[in-house]
Amino acid sequence: MVQIVIDGQETEVEVGTTILEAAKKVGVKIPTLCHHPDQAVKANCRICVVEIEGQKLLQPSCSFPVWEGMVVRTNTPKVQRVRSNVLELILAHHAQECLFCSRNGNCELQEVTQDMHFTREVRYTNETRHGKDESSPSVVRDTNKCILCGRCSYVCDKIQSVGALCKEGRGFSTKLSSAYGKDLADSTCTNCGQCIQACPVGALTIHDDTEHVYEAMEAGKHVIAQVAPAVRITIAEALGENPGTVNKGRLVTAMKRVGFDKVFDTDFSADLTIMEEGHELLNRLQNGGTLPMVTSCCPAWIKFCETSFPEELPHLSTCKSPQQMFGALLKTWYPERSGVYPKDIYSVSIMPCTAKKFECVRPEMNSSGYQDVDKVITVQELANMICAAGINFADLPETEFDSPFGLGTGAGEIFGATGGVMEAALRTVYEVVTGEELEDVDFNAVRGFEGIKEASVDLKGIEVKVAIAHGLGNARKLMNAVKAGEADYHFIEVMACPGGCIGGGGNPIKNWKKMEKRLEGVYAEDKKLPIRKSHENPYIQKIYNDFLGEPLGEQSHKLLHTTYIDRSDIFKS
Amino acid sequence: MEEVRVLLRNVDRINPVSAVDYMNEGGYEGLKKSLWMSELDIIHEITESTLRGRGGAGFPTGIKLSHAHNARSKNKFVLCNADEGEPGTNKDRILLSKDPNSIFEGMAIAARAIGADKGYIYLRAEYPYIVPILEQALENAREAGCLGDNIFGSEFSFDIEIRPGGGAYVCGEESAMIESMEGKRGEPRFRPPYPTVQGLFQEPTAVFNVETLANIGPIMYRGADWYKTMGTKKSHGTKLYTISGNVRNKGVYEYEVGVNLKDLIYEAGGGIPDGRKLLAVQTGGTAGAIINKHQINMPMDPAYVADSGGSMGAGDVLVIDNTNDIVDILDNVLSFFVHESCGKCTPCREGSMRLYQLASGIIDGTTTSEGMENIRELCETMRLASLCGLGQSVPIPVLSCLDNFREIFDEYIVRNEKNKKIAAGGAK
Ligand SMILES: Cc1cc2nc3c(=O)[nH]c(=O)nc-3n(C[C@H](O)[C@H](O)[C@H](O)COP(=O)(O)O)c2cc1C
Ligand code: SF4
Ligand code: SF4
Ligand code: SF4
Ligand code: SF4
């Protein structure tokens, strides 16, 4: 421990603590921009500089460690003048479009400008960087708003190991660009949206597709929606409630009021995924198929695998993601039951995920003869629609999901968290293989935020070894082991987003602290449900009886399974 | 004023790639001596000599060695900074191409002192022709037992590899150089941690300028006391000065530290040709102070130059004659920094350009006294808040120029304000 003095307040902190952390402890808020609580220190924006007694220069508080007897001043006129000049330089090179910026009211640059009470005129001519890249179906890059903090490239590079974003040029003309100056859509970008989550300003945002949904509503289409498990965890947060506030009933009510004709629960097709994937695993185990089998419900992971591990594609389960399984049913089975023609249906997925926007336009996703899912709307976009419709989310009555796809199990519910798919699969596979009832359905070993989790499950004599990775960097580690033949797992779950879908790029802006709360919400919800195993879902049993036949059967194969392509040529040229 | 030849002793006198030739002139004696000394004794000797870094910052070499020595790790590195990015400077090039063994020897002694077994020479991208010379010299030195395993039959092993530079000026900044050697974009790192604690591949790393290293062999061979017989009271040894610009005899010269700047210009440099007169001198490279003709009677002693608000940098002396306009000179300096700012931190990335725009406005007529105030404020911000030495030192030439040529700038500003008033009046 060391004794230090910050703005006259004496305090004691651990050796190695930064001035920023120490200041926070004594209640002093120092402005930051490039700093992110979940990332390594960058110290490049220089807005957090402070005065240290005995030092000629100001020092960035985010990177500077305290020492015994250090005397720090964070708010002298000199410090404030320098900070305000630094801020002025940033603002002079920034598109000042707050009024119609999607981060308006939720922007760190706005917040810093406000906190510092910067109200004077900027002395320099306003210049902007290098325009917009709207090529990607998931992520919009507006370099005119970029403040070059490096938070996006940190995530993309260090956490996701994708490296699709990098700095280009020098000095004043430095810009953040996608690798080799390609359009993002033509790059190795996996559409995971983690960069959006990291960006402090409106330079990286979700590709907004709400306009198309309104158009479909206005054109009198039968507009139906499926809602992913993670959405009920984060929608209330997106509308200003505390992280971890779970709500389905108000969500359905709000969506009905926004104008959706039907609102279904993707939990249902998560259960369906478990039936198909569980049987696929058993089939591979029993018939010498390619092992380990790796989950395929995350489209960012799929693109990553297609790009970086094309030789390992046979490891991927052939199951579509729950959203695409549902999508196929919504334009095949649902028309049969409802009498609405598939061509009149406009199918929308409400997702925590930006990569699903890419997935739904993949040419493979046309099993119904139409594009199975017409549009994917993220939690953030749905929250905007609810707001724009003048709905006070806090005060809404509750409504049930529409049937026949109404009911999901706890197994589907936990799909939103890392380890959830694995746990759901184990609950089903155990009972199918052993023919016995699982007494304790909680597989705690596969839960939590550790980067790579391992477990082994005894299925009455057959030992099944599993591993779970979340974040593509962790997935890369696992896949390298698989590639090298060093991984003796049978089943691997991969989610591209750190924490799983509750950490997806389409959610409200997150950090690990909020993620803890969201995770608690997931498992609390699972516990509440009467049925917690997919194969016990009566509606699942019914759809197999009425329509699909059996898991891995012919109809399932046509509607619920897919193929992959080698995209490694993205690296060429 | 007499030239001395300590660092340049072998230049054009021996075969540069021959370790044997170098040894015949007393080379590698310093290394041999240090093989039998303790690490602390070596560091003590170098500290005693008061040698300071010749790469620009002037940090005491002995202290740097002792920091790297104290850092605990099995892997440590000695890096030779041969990036020599300063326009018009070529002192390091001469040592590299004409007496490379003197650099190897310095690196080996430094490695012995801190406990490193691996060294790299980070060679300026524009010096590819030196690569074969260095490679050959390294090969011969290994053959002669001066490098490689069990140097001169001792327990000590050390070898050197050459790494090509990244091509940008900022890659000469030691932490940017390290990033560039790790295959990343050449951007400086924040400090602490210092390279001596976490440098190349996060291991303790001591970075030295070429010329600094060339001093180490002679110091160890002939002793700190001998070294201190040269120079001034505060700074010792000899220094290479690169004289460029509007002088008759441009070139690299070796003198004792503390030689008078005036003598450098008029004796070594031979004065200004074609009957022109002196306007200004910039010492210490593009980031150095710009002084006027009345200020040149000054000893080139790092301590003294620092007191006058400048820096000796790597020993550059740029002579500017009266056919130049000081406002253009300032413009050129700033356009250099606009071009060379790496873009990592806000004050320098944005500030360099804004300074350049304001300085251009002095000539164009848009900069008034408010703009001049803005320049000064911006300089303060860049000096205090930039991440590396590049941004921190941009204010040195700018402010020295404004102060030392105040009347000229005042004239421009008066003109600009008058024109502005007229324009405003005309609009009414
Ligand atoms: C922008 C910038 C450029 C630099 N370029 C060089 C260079 O070309 N060569 C050099 O030796 N030092 C250069 N330096 C200084 C190095 O960072 C470092 O201080 C030096 O290599 C240490 O060696 P020394 O202590 O022997 O001088 C530069 C510093 C800055 C800030
Ligand atoms: S990024 Fe922030 S500061 Fe910039 S226009 Fe958008 S809301 Fe305003
Ligand atoms: S969406 Fe994901 S992969 Fe694409 S640039 Fe952003 S972080 Fe990288
Ligand atoms: S795009 Fe956003 S996160 Fe990336 S560098 Fe720019 S401001 Fe930072
Ligand atoms: S001061 Fe300039 S050169 Fe140094 S890190 Fe900042 S932008 Fe790069």
Confidence of residue A130 (pLDDT cuts 50, 70, 90): confident
Does residue A541 sit within a domain? Answer: yes
Same domain, A398 and A511: yes
Model confidence at B51: pLDDT above 70 = yes
Q: Tell me: the pLDDT tens digits for B372-414?
A: 999 999 999 999 999 999 999 999 999 999 999 999 999 999 9
Active-site pick, A178, A296, A317, A347: A317
Q: Tell me: the pLDDT tens digits for B146-183?
A: 999 999 999 999 999 999 998 899 999 999 999 999 99
CB atoms within 10 A of CB B212: 23
Same domain, A38 and A64: yes
b/e code A403-413 from CB counts within 10 Å (16+ = b):
ebbebbbbbbb
Q: What are phi and psi of B131, to 5 degrees?
A: -55, -55
B393 in ligand 5 pocket by Cβ < 6 Å? no
Residues of the domain holding A144: 120-206
How would DSSP label each residue in B378-412?
HHHHHHHH-SSHHHHHTHHHHHHHHHHTHHHHHHH
Report the number of distinct structural domains present in chain A.
Answer: 3
Same domain, A200 and A222: no
Confidence of residue A406 (pLDDT cuts 50, 70, 90): low
Same domain, A360 and A340: yes
Strand, helix or coil for residue A521: helix
Annotation says A501 is catalytic: yes
Model confidence at B201: pLDDT above 90 = yes
* Pocket residue to mutate for ligand 5, from B178, B341, B354, most atoms within 8 A of Cβ: B341
Q: Tell me: the pLDDT tens digits for A479-519?
A: 999 999 999 999 999 999 999 999 999 999 999 999 999 99
Active-site pick, A108, A237, A277, A306: A277
Supply the residue whose CA is at minimum distance from atom 6 of ligand 4.
A146
Closest CA to B134 of B109, B108, B104, B107: B104
Q: Tell me: the pLDDT tens digits for A12-43?
A: 999 999 999 999 999 999 999 999 999 999 99
Q: How many CB pairs under 8 A join A and B?
A: 97
Q: Which residues line ligand 4 (CB under 6 A)?
A: A 146-152, 176, 198-201, 203-204
With tokens 């209640």, the residue in question is A27
Q: Kindly give the number of the ligand 5 atom that is closest to the alpha carbon of B176.
A: 5
At residue A510, the pLDDT reads: 96
Q: Tell me: the pLDDT tens digits for B290-306?
A: 999 999 999 998 878 77
Same domain, A51 and A150: no
At residue A403, the pLDDT reads: 81
At residue B60, the pLDDT reads: 95
Q: What is the mean pLDDT of residues A150-154?
A: 97
Residue of B343, B352, B386 with shortest CB distance to A169: B343
Percent of chain A at pLDDT exceeding 90: 89
Whether the CB-CB separation of A487 and A290 falls below 8 Å is answered with: no
Q: Which amino acid is at A154?
A: Y
CATH code reported for the domain at B19-227: 3.40.50.11540
Does B346 contact A89 at a Cβ distance shorter than 8 Å? yes
Percent of chain B at pLDDT exceeding 90: 92
Active-site pick, A156, A501, A533, A534: A501
Does residue A45 sit within a domain? Answer: yes
Output the CA B187–ligand 3 centroid distance in Å: 23
For residue A9, the cross-strand partners are A6
Largest CA distance in chain A: 80
Does residue A519 sit within a domain? Answer: yes
Distance, in Å, from the CA atom of A99 to the CA atom of A128, rounded to the nearest integer, reads 17
At residue B313, the pLDDT reads: 84
End position of a domain, from candidates A158, A174, A206: A206
B207 in ligand 1 pocket by Cβ < 6 Å? yes
What class has domain B238-321?
A: alpha beta
Model confidence at B428: pLDDT above 60 = no
Does residue A130 sit within a domain? Answer: yes
Q: Tell me: the pLDDT tens digits for A60-77?
A: 999 999 999 999 999 999
Closest CA to A108 of A29, A199, A241, A41: A199
Q: Which residues line ligand 3 (CB under 6 A)?
A: A 139, 155-156, 160, 162, 164-165, 189-195
At residue A333, the pLDDT reads: 93
Provide the mean pLDDT of chain A.
Answer: 95
End position of a domain, from candidates A155, A186, A206: A206
Does A46 contact B347 at a Cβ distance shorter than 8 Å? yes
End position of a domain, from candidates A167, A185, A206: A206
Output the CA A102–ligand 2 centroid distance in Å: 8
Closest CA to B279 of B290, B287, B289, B268: B290
Does A86 contact B385 at a Cβ distance shorter than 8 Å? yes
The residues, any chain, with a CB within 8 Å of residue A504's CB and separated by 6 or more, are: A192, A193, A230, A351, A352, A353, A354, A378, A379, A497
Strand, helix or coil for residue A29: coil
Same domain, A351 and A424: yes
Same domain, A249 and A153: no
- The Cβ-side half-sphere exposure at B159, using a 13 Å CA radius, reads 11
CATH code reported for the domain at B326-427: 1.20.1440.230
User: Which of A94-98, A222-226, A434-438, B280-284 bottoms out in mean pLDDT, i.e. has the lowest?
Assistant: A434-438
Same domain, A541 and A400: yes
Model confidence at A225: pLDDT above 90 = yes
Does residue A95 sit within a domain? Answer: no
Look up the CATH number of the domain holding residue A398. Answer: 3.40.950.10
Provide the mean pLDDT of chain B.
Answer: 95
Q: B66-72: long-range contacts (C-beta < 8 A, 24 or more apart)?
A: B67/B194, B67/B196, B67/B197, B67/B206, B68/B114, B68/B116, B68/B196, B68/B204, B68/B205, B68/B206, B69/B39, B69/B40, B69/B43, B69/B113, B69/B114, B69/B115, B71/B196, B71/B197, B71/B204, B72/B204
At residue A162, the pLDDT reads: 97
At residue B427, the pLDDT reads: 56
Annotation says A189 is catalytic: no
Confidence of residue B309 (pLDDT cuts 50, 70, 90): low
Same domain, A164 and A39: no
Same domain, A198 and A216: no
Model confidence at B99: pLDDT above 80 = yes
At residue A573, the pLDDT reads: 61
Does A172 contact B352 at a Cβ distance shorter than 8 Å? yes
Supply the residue whose CA is at minimum distance from atom 2 of ligand 4.
A199
Confidence of residue A129 (pLDDT cuts 50, 70, 90): confident
Confidence of residue A413 (pLDDT cuts 50, 70, 90): confident
Residues of chain B contacting A78 with CB distance shorter than 8 Å:
384
Percent of chain B at pLDDT exceeding 70: 99
Residues of chain B contacting A85 with CB distance shorter than 8 Å:
347, 377-378, 380-381
Pairing relationship of beta strands A345-351 and A222-227 according to DSSP bridges: parallel
Same domain, A220 and A198: no
Annotated domain spans of chain B: 19-227, 238-321, 326-427
Interface residues on B facing A, Cβ-Cβ cutoff 8 A: 168, 185, 190, 192, 338-347, 349-354, 357, 374, 377-378, 380-381, 383-387, 392
Does A89 contact B185 at a Cβ distance shorter than 8 Å? no
At residue A131, the pLDDT reads: 86
Q: What is the mean pLDDT of residues B255-278?
A: 96
Supply the residue whose CA is at minimum distance from atom 4 of ligand 3.
A189
Distance, in Å, from the CA atom of B389 to the CA atom of B311, rounded to the nearest integer, reads 12
Q: What ipTM score was computed for the predicted complex, to two decimals? A: 0.95
Q: Tell me: the pLDDT tens digits for A551-563?
A: 999 999 999 999 9
b/e code A275-305 from CB counts within 10 Å (16+ = b):
bbbbbbbbebbeeeeebbbbbbbbbbbbbbb
Q: What are phi and psi of A491, to 5 degrees?
A: -145, 130
Q: How would you classify residue A552: left for phi > 0, otherwise alpha for psi between -120 and 50, otherwise beta?
A: left
Same domain, A177 and A129: yes
**Cβ-count burial of A497 within 10 angstroms (0-12 exposed, 13-18 middle, 19+ buried)?**
buried
B45 in ligand 1 pocket by Cβ < 6 Å? no
Does residue A445 sit within a domain? Answer: yes
Nearest CA of chain B to the CA of A87: how many Å?
9
User: Which of B43-57, B129-143, B211-225, B308-322 bottoms out in mean pLDDT, i.e. has the lowest?
Assistant: B308-322
Structure-token pair, residue B120: 């790299």
Supply the residue whose CA is at minimum distance from atom 1 of ligand 5.
B391
